[in-house]
Chains A and B, each alone.
Chain A
Amino acid sequence: MSQAVDDTLIEAHGLSRHYDVSNGFFGGQATVKALSNTSFRLQAGRTLAVVGESGCGKSTLARVVTMIEKPTAGTLTLDGHHLSSEVILSDAQQAALRASVQIVFQDPFGSLNPRQTIGRILEEPVLINRPDVSAAQREQQARAMLEMVGLRPEHYDRYPHMFSGGQRQRIAVARALMLEPRILVLDEPVSALDLSIQSQILNLLVDLQERLNLAYLFISHDLSVVRHMADDVMVMYLGRVVEKGAAAAVFGSPRHPYTQALLSATPVADPGRKQTRIRLQGELPSPLNPPVGCAFHPRCWKAEERCRQTAPELDDTEVHPVACFFPL
């Protein structure tokens, strides 16, 4: 495996994923732009958070980065390997690459096979990707991994239903780490967990990142969790990145109206705090029929004629770029 010169593990340029759908019985073809023109870079040991509401394309991004889906345009460089809609990798190359990008899903009740023991769940990725590893070695790896994520080695023979939500999420993390990946995609890893369990899992993720120098692509809609975990933040709206920057900058001085609205809509656990909330009118438009111009303009209080006609672009050369004609 060729190593990148610096420790950049993901580099995405103009990444897009469009779906062709038939628009009803007589409607003909339409295109859903689930992800458009997304560029970012992620280094080892860092966390990039992707935030946005449902339908903003954050999960599509996770699927493209983990190679579950191919991008329809743009290039993706994963751990030194180039991927794009044109470049076709051999199966062996893809398998090698998949080992370095792993994913943890939101719901630990749905992501673990109820008929497999924990040991079998953990060993499966090794069994498939590293067939030359002996059974004894696999078991040893799995038991060591259980310890690493804060479970006991004797949990090896148990089934998922014997564990609580938090423990299951630990198992899901353990499974993702079995192939020693360098990138972990975390798709809403704590959304399904209770508050007292959430902090345990967040601490585990922080620990693992420090120990293994992992790069996290952290997808979440919970801004207080993102604020705590992220080094960099990318805010998405209807398949496009609207603002990008260091977490402190994005949370401290948001520039896009949508980011502002999102931050002000997030309830803060401080009853003394009085603040004027930005009231967003309406709901997310349908991705099948996005508005002309800036996708946010029907809900934006600063929108002018120009916003209704042309879509603002994100200038990636800036430190804290924003896709808006009237940034704050």
Chain B
Amino acid sequence: MPLLDVRNLSVDFKTSNGQFRAVDRVDVQVDVGDVLAIVGESGSGKSVSMLAVMGLLPWTASITADSMRFDGLDLATAEPRQRRAIIGKDVAMIFQEPMSSLNPCFTVGFQLREALKAHLPLSRRERQRRAVELLEQVGLPEPERRLNAFPHQLSGGMCQRVMIAMAIACKPKLLIADEPTTALDVTIQAQILELLLELQKNTGMALVLITHDMGVVAETARRVSVQYAGQKVEEQEVQALFANPHHPYTSALLAALPERATTRRLPSIPGVVPGQFDRPAGCLFSPRCAFADDRCRQVNPAMAAAELGHARCHYPLIQGIPQREVS
């Protein structure tokens, strides 16, 4: 049984202009020790689906799912008490902006010990010792001194290390990292990604990495789920995804990478991601798809078989060629 098992998750937001569906029938399964990357552009719902799991969405959101189970507990029907006991302990999350996720009014040590206090029966002294140990584990030099520092006294990379220390404080089974390196420089990004993977390997926790950077995906993930406009359009092992993408969106996205370019002009995807008011009928990618026909513009495609990467497409690609049925 997977550690995290989310089926048919939809999230709708009440806006002043009616309902907006941010996440549309998404499945997420994460096994123990798995590294899953969720990729997508802005507005693809990749963060929202994980925030729904964490229970961090505002009241304007309504969440529906067939099942939303973590480690045997049904998150959808669980008592708030039960939920709180798990969130932050067994499931932890780190965010994009380390500087703004830490509270500027308290020292790093206070915030780190707070997480321990909330979840573990440790004495004050033990908490202090564990905090030092955690900062050592995430590679911060002079941990005792850093505990008394305020977030503004640390650099972005150091703040992200503190966030990671806080997230792994209670030895979580699942760590969700939402764009953990987007705000950081490349050499620091390399350090942080390496740290996350190392922690993942040493503790055996599962890691969900939300990102928009295909390079980061290629170098860290084992499995990749691609989202577009709230839907999961494809899911594959990382090697297979880059070698043989089955959904036209994934294929076009990979072709648009400057490092894969063979000509001076990049193959680009025309148009933009549909917003709240210009959602097309049928397949959401059809207005921008090179292979779309009338069926795509009218009928919402179902998910294809597992060997076709569950591609949400009428004509999944095999080696770049759409598979039209014989009719």
Contacts and interface: CB of A to CB of B under 8 A. Distances in A.
Contact of A224 (B155, B215, B264): B215
B268 A265 contact: no
A228 B266 contact: yes
Interface in B242-260: 242-243, 252-254, 256-260
Contacts of A53: 185-188
Nearest to B186: A265
Q: Taking chain B's interface residues, is the majority helix, strand, or loop, or is none over half, making it mixed?
A: helix
Interface stretch (A73-81, A275-283, A319-327): A275-283
B218 interface: yes
Contacts of A129: none
Contacts of B257: 195, 224, 269
Contacts of A269: 214-215, 217-218, 242, 254, 257, 259-260
Interface stretch (B91-99, B189-197, B316-324): B189-197
A283 B157 contact: yes
A196 B256 contact: yes
B272 interface: yes
A227 B270 CA distance: 23
A164 interface: yes
A271 B186 contact: no
A119 to B, nearest CB: 22
Interface residues of B, number: 46
Interface stretch (A13-21, A32-40, A82-90, A198-206): A198-206
B12 interface: no
B281 interface: no
Contact of B214 (A166, A195, A229): A195
A203 B270 CA distance: 12
Contacts of B304: none
A168 B186 CA distance: 27
Q: How large is the interface on A (under 10, 10 to 19, 20 to 34, 35 or more residues)?
A: 35 or more
Nearest to B44: A194
Contacts, number: 118
Interface in A171-230: 194-200, 202-203, 206-207, 221, 223-225, 227-229
Contacts of A273: 218
Given A194-B41, A221-B185, A283-B155, A271 B212 contact: no
18 contacts: A53-B187, A53-B188, A199-B256, A200-B268, A200-B270, A261-B187, A262-B186, A262-B187, A264-B190, A265-B187, A266-B215, A267-B193, A269-B242, A272-B239, A272-B242, A277-B194, A280-B187, A284-B185
The 4 closest A-B pairs by CB, nearest first: A267-B215, A228-B258, A265-B190, A199-B268
Interface of B: 41-42, 155, 157-158, 185-191, 193-194, 212-219, 238-239, 241-243, 252-254, 256-261, 264-270, 272-273, 288
Interface of A: 53-54, 164, 166-167, 194-200, 202-203, 206-207, 221, 223-225, 227-229, 261-262, 264-273, 277, 279-280, 283-284
Given A199-B266, A264-B190, A267-B218, 18 more contacts: A53-B188, A54-B185, A195-B212, A196-B256, A199-B269, A221-B186, A228-B259, A265-B186, A267-B190, A267-B215, A267-B216, A269-B214, A271-B218, A271-B219, A277-B190, A280-B190, A283-B158, A284-B185
